[in-house]
Structure 1
Amino acid sequence: MVVTTLPASAPMVVRTTEVPDPGPLLELLPEDFPMAWVRQGEGVVGWGQAARFDTIGANRFVAADRWWRRMVGTAVVRDEVRLPGSGPVAFGSFAFDDVPGSSSLVLPDTVVGHRSGRWWVTTIDVTGNLPGGAALPDVSRARRPAAVAYADGAHSGTEWEAIVAEAVRRITAGELEKVVLARDLIAESPEPIDLRWPLQRLSDGYPHCWTFSVDGMIGATPELLVRRERGLVTSRVLAGTIRRTGDDEHDLALAASLARSSKDLEEHEYAVRSVADALAPFCSSMNVPESPFVLHLPNVMHLATDLAGVTDSDASSLALAAALHPSAAVGGTPTAVALDVIREIEGLDRARYAGPVGWMDGRGDGEWGIALRSAEVSGSRLRLFAGCGIVAGSDPAAELAESVAKLVPMRDALSS
C-alpha cells in the first residue's frame, strides 16, 4: 500500500539563499509539525509540508527513493550555497520491520541549514512558481510539558526479563548468535506535547548525538547508520553498553572493563561485521578499524567503531541505509533468524523504533541514523523505546538495568 501526496503537474521550484546567523536551529521551529536533524548546533530543520510520500511493506525504501528521484529529477533549483543539505531536502522516518508500521518521506516548504560557519534558507513551491524570499517567521517559545505519568508498555520489567531469558536459551542452544530485544514505556501528559521542548533538552544534554524529529518520531540517536557525502560513505556502529555512575574515576574503570569485556566485544564484532558486509558492494575501498573505542555519553558508555568507504555508485544515502538495515546492532545475527525470533518472542510493535531516520538532499547525499533513544508521539501520549543486544553471556536483570539507562534521555527531556 502506498499513499502519496503529490504536487501538481508543474515542476518543483526550489530557492536556497545564504543568510546571516539566524540563531540556534531548534529555536527557529514552529510548534506545528517540526522537523529536525541537529548535532552540535549544525544540521537542518524544516517546517510546513510541500509534499510527502507514505508507504508500508518490504518495498518501502525503494518506493520512497524512486519517488524522491522523480521529484528532484524535474525540479528547478536555484542554490547559491551548494553544500550537503542545501537545495531540496526531504526528511524521512522508516518502519523497523516490513509489517506492521508506516514509513514516510516529507518535503517541507521551508528548510534552514547550518554547516561550517554558513547558514541558509531553502524555500520550496510545488505549483511551479518561484518561492518567496528567506524571511523567517516569528515563533513562540517552546512550552514545557505538564506533569508526565509513566506506565508499562507491552510488558512489565519482570515479563521482559523472562523474554530475555528465553532469547539466551535459544542462543545457548545454537539457534542464533545474537538478538536485539526492545521494550517500551508509555508516557501520558494532560495536554499535547510541544515537541520543541524535548528536542531542545535532548540537544543540550546530548550534543554529540543526532537530535531528530520526523513525522512524530523524536529522539537523540548516538548511532549514525550511514552518511553519504560527495562520494564518501561513513557509518558509526555502537554495540556493547555500560551504565555511567556519575563518578568520573569509577566511570573510567568501567570504560576499561567494557573495552575488555568478551561478551560486549563479541556483540560489537557482530554489529561491525554486518555493516561492513552490507557496505562492501557499494564501496571501492573501505577502512574498518580493528578495535572499537569507548564512546562516553552522559548516561551510558558504548563500544563504538567508525567505518569509512569511497563509493562510485549512484546509490543514494537512502538506498545505502536500506542496504544496511537492519544491522546486527538493532536486529541480530544471523539477521533473518534474529528477526524471526524478535517477531516470535518480543511481543512488541516497534513501529519506527530502530528504523532509519534522517534526511536526503537532491543529490542523494544525506545522513540516516538509527531511531534510538527515541519516542513515538501522538498528541499527549508517547511511547518511549529502548533495546539491548542479547548474546550467550547476557544476564536478564543486567539487560533490564541497561534498558532503564537507555530510557533516561527521553524521560529527562520530558521532565527537565
Structure 2
Amino acid sequence: MINEVKQDSFSESFIMAVEKAKQERTEQLVSHTMQVEGISSIQFYANSCQIKTSYRHYWSDPKGLSLVGIGCARAFEYEGDTGRFHFIKSQWETFVKKHSITMKAPARGPLLMGGFRFDSKASKQEEWQHFPSAALVLPQFLLTIDCEGCWLTINAVVGPDEENIYQRIIDLEEQRERLLQRKAHSLQSASALKAYDIKGEEWKEAVACAIDEMAQGPLQKIVLSRSILAQSSNGYDIPSVIQKLTEQQPNSYVFTIERQGDTFIGATPERLVKREENKFFADALAGTAGRGKTAYEDEQLGHALLNDKKNLREHAYVVQMLKDVFAEWCESTEVDPYPTLLKTKDVQHLYTPIKGEAKSSAHLFDAVEKLHPTPAMGGTPRRLAVERITELETHDRGWYSAPIGWVDGEGNGDFSVAIRSGLISGHDARLYAGCGIVSDSHPDSEYIETEMKFRPMLNALRGSR
C-alpha cells in the first residue's frame, strides 16, 4: 500500500500505484491521510450531499470520536443464512495483508464502516432490501475527529487496466474540496410529523403469549420489539437529524448508514464490544425506568430500578453471558460486582461495564459473532429466544438491534447494538423499540416502556429539543 501524509503527494501516490498495478498485474490501494482543520463531522456529512454516492456512514461515541465515511472504495458484503461474520473477517484480513495496511493511530486511515442484520435466517421484507446480512464499506473519503485533531483519508483502489488516470485524480480532488467546504449547515426540521402505531395490540398479545410460555417451558427471557411509522410531509434532512441526536443523546453512540437512498439511523446507549489494542470492552445494559420531572423524582426512580427484582434478573442474564464470552476470548476479565445507572435524556438503565485482556488469537469479528445477540436483544436461552422472536414479532427487524460499527486495519474497532433507531426512506421513517420480557412482565407496562424508547428518534425527527 502507498500511504502518504502530505496533501500535495496524493496525485504522485495515485500515479505510482497505477504503475505498480500494471507491473504486477494486480490491484493496488492508494490511501492518503492528511490533517485538516475547521470542519465538523455534521458539516462534512452535509457537504457530501453535493457528491453523487450511494453510501454514507456516520459514527460518534460519547468519548469524542467521530467518523464520517463518504462513498465506497471497496464493499465487503454477504447475503446468506450462515457464515457472514467469518466471511467479512476473512475478506478484510486478506485485503489488509495484501495491501500491507498499517495505522498511525486507531481509526486514522483505511477502515470499514457498516453492520449486520439482526437475524440472517429471518425473511427480509421490502423496506430492508438494500441492507444485506452483512455489509461493510471502505469509504472513499473518511473524516476522523478525535481528542487530538481532525484527519481526512482518501482511499482508492486502482487496477492494472486503469484508464483516464488524471481525470480520476482531478475528480477525487474536486470531491475533497467540496467535502471540506466551511459553509455552516442550516438545521431543518420536519413539518407535520405524524406517527402511527403498527399492530400495537397484536404486540401486547405476543408479550402475553411469551409470558405464558415462560411459565411452562425453558424460555427464561425474550426481547420483543414493535415498530411505528413516522411520516413527514417534507421528508427528512439527515444531517439535521444527526445533529439533534448528538445534542440530545450525549451519552449515546450516534450512527447513520445510508445505502441506495435509504438511511438507518439512531442513537444507541449500548456498546456490544470494542477492541483497542489488546483490550476488549463491553456493556451490559438491561433494565429500564423513566426519568423524573424533578431531581428528587429522578433519584427515586433510579433507586427503585437498582432494587427492582424483575429488572435485576433481566440485567443478570446479560452480565453472565458477557462474562462467559469474555472468558473464552480474554486472558483475564474485570466485571463490576453491582450495576450502576446509565441515564439518557428519556430513560435510565441498569449498567455494568466489562473489560478484558484479549488473547492474541482473538479477533473483533469473532467477539461480535459470539456476543450477538446478547440477552438484552434476544433472550435466554438464545437460540430458542431468536426462533420465537421470528414467530411472535409482526415486522422484520432488519438491522435494528444488530451490530453496527467500524474496524480498522490493525483490528481496532467498536460495535454497538443498533437500538433507539429507525429506517428512513423518503417521507417515511419506521422506528423500532423493544423490551425484555420475563415471567413477571406485564404487557401494558412493557408497551409504555417502548413508548419512552421511541422518544429519542421522534424528537430528533421533529427537530424538537
Q: Same fold (TM over 0.5)?
A: yes
Q: Are 1:118 and 2:165 an aligned pair?
A: no
- 1:38 maps to which residue? 60
Equivalent residues, number: 405
Matched residue of 2:58: which SS? Answer: strand
1:12 corresponds to which of 1, 11, 29: 29
Looking at structure 2, the residues matched to 372 and 295 of structure 1 have their Cα atoms a distance apart, in angstroms, of 15
What CA distance in whole angstroms lies between the structure 2 residues aligned with 1:382 and 1:65?
A: 32
Query: Is 1:137–2:180 an aligned residue pair?
Result: yes
In structure 2, the CA distance between the partners of 1:150 and 1:284, relative to structure 1 (3 Å rule), is same
Q: Indicate the larger mover: 57-66 or 24-33.
A: 24-33
Q: How does 1:5-404 map to 2 (within 5 A)?
A: 9-20=26-37, 22-29=38-45, 30-31=48-49, 33-40=55-62, 41-56=64-79, 57-75=81-99, 77=101, 82-99=104-121, 100-101=123-124, 102=132, 103-127=134-158, 135=177, 136-138=179-181, 141-153=186-198, 155-156=199-200, 158-215=201-258, 216-404=263-451
SS of 1:34's equivalent in the other structure is strand
Cα distance in 1 between the residues matched to 2:215 and 2:319: 22
- Kept in 1, the 8 Å contact 2:318–2:374? The answer is yes
Question: Which one-letter code corresponds to 1:124 in the other structure?
Answer: N
Q: How big is the alpha-carbon RMSD for the aligned residues of Structure 1 and Structure 2?
A: 2.2
- Rounded to whole Å, the distance in 2 between the matches of 1:149 and 1:175 is 41
Letter in 2 for 1:90: L
Deviation at 1:78, TM superposition (A): 7.5
TM value normalised by structure 1 = 0.92
* More moved, 24-33 vs 302-311: 24-33
2:439 counterpart letter in structure 1: A
State the AA in 1 paired with 2:59.
Answer: W
Q: Distance in 1 between matches of 2:354 and 2:101?
A: 33
Percent of aligned positions that are identical: 33
- Distance in 1 separating the partners of 2:196 and 2:444: 19
Structure with greater Cα Rg = 2
Provide the residue aligned with 1:4 in structure 2.
none
1:359 Cα deviation after fit: 0.6
The structure with the largest helix share of the pair is: 2
Task: Tell me by how many angstroms 1:333 deviates.
Answer: 0.5
Q: Is the 8 A contact 2:292 2:299 kept in 1?
A: no
Distance across 1 between alignment mates of 2:390 and 2:326: 26
3-state secondary structure, aligned to 2:377: coil
1:238, 1:320 → 2: CA distance?
17
* Structure 1 unaligned regions, length at least 5: 1-6
CA distance in 1, matches of 2:319, 2:29: 40
Contact 1:45/1:111 (8 A) holds in 2: yes
> Shift of residue 381 of structure 1?
1.8
**Residue 231 of structure 2 contacts residue 427 of structure 2 at CA under 8 Å; is this kept in 1?**
yes
Contact 1:93 1:217 (8 Å CA) reproduced: no
| Alignment deviations for residues 14-47 of structure 1 (CA, whole Å, 9 cap, x no partner) | 1222333x34322221236431111244221111
What is the alpha-carbon distance in structure 2 between the residues aligned to residue 55 and residue 145 of structure 1?
35
Instruction: Quote the residue 2:14 is aligned against.
Output: none
Shift of 1:147: 2.7
